[in-house]
A and B are shown apart, each in its own frame.
Chain A
């Protein structure tokens, strides 16, 4: 699959570029953190994905239902005012924790949404990496009335 192309910043190219973001770092989290996708619990998955460093709380807003009626499609919204490069979702509802790792370019607006499966009531943890290199996290417990992972 075609990977991202690197910009060559000649003067003409720079002038024509307006403010489109530069290319992303070429990280395919499936390859660089393969173990993280196998880990059962969120603590292990997060450590395998991002290292075991300290994570700052209070900078990410998770928008998820307190009670999800359909565990097959639980909407998870993530917002932040920070400049983030990476946002990942983990949960303790399924046999393995890591769900998705999203990467954004410089001009991203951190207002994301996706839908995940949850077999049972559990915590959903969002971990993000800032442009400042720091790690941020937020947790929300989501109750699930009907499990959505074939369980």
Chain B
């Protein structure tokens, strides 16, 4: 389970990243109502060259399969962006993409 989609594009000095993560993003309230297990991402980091360019502390009120778009300068096409996530059970996932 879990596969993220990363799209990173470099244009005019700015890298734009679109991130689609996999998680039910179910918190305690929804778990109780729907009789499903609690499961949601708690933190996401995006790194280029080993340095964090963006990160988020996340909660269950983000949409299912969370989506993020963010932008930063200082990288270039050909650089690699690495995204790591961790959920409320401590399970981690990681994926990477080359900035185009």
Contact = CB atoms under 8 A, between A and B. Distances in A.
Nearest to B82: A2
Contacts of B57: 28-30, 100-101
Given A91-B61, A116-B62, A149 B30 contact: yes
A73 interface: yes
B41 to A, nearest CB: 10
Interface in A110-128: 111-117
Interface residues of B, number: 40
B20 to A, nearest CB: 10
A43 interface: no
A113 B68 contact: yes
B5 interface: no
A73 B65 CA distance: 10
**Chain A interface category by residue count:** 35 or more
B51 A21 contact: yes
Contact of B53 (A5, A37, A105, A148): A105
A12 interface: no
A28 B45 CA distance: 11
* A interface majority secondary structure: loop
Contact of B51 (A23, A29, A109, A151): A23
A20 B50 CA distance: 10
A72 B64 contact: yes
B3 interface: no
A102 B29 contact: no
B69 interface: yes
Interface in B81-96: 84, 86, 92
14 contacts: A1-B43, A1-B84, A19-B73, A19-B74, A20-B48, A24-B55, A91-B61, A98-B59, A100-B56, A100-B57, A100-B62, A115-B66, A150-B29, A150-B30
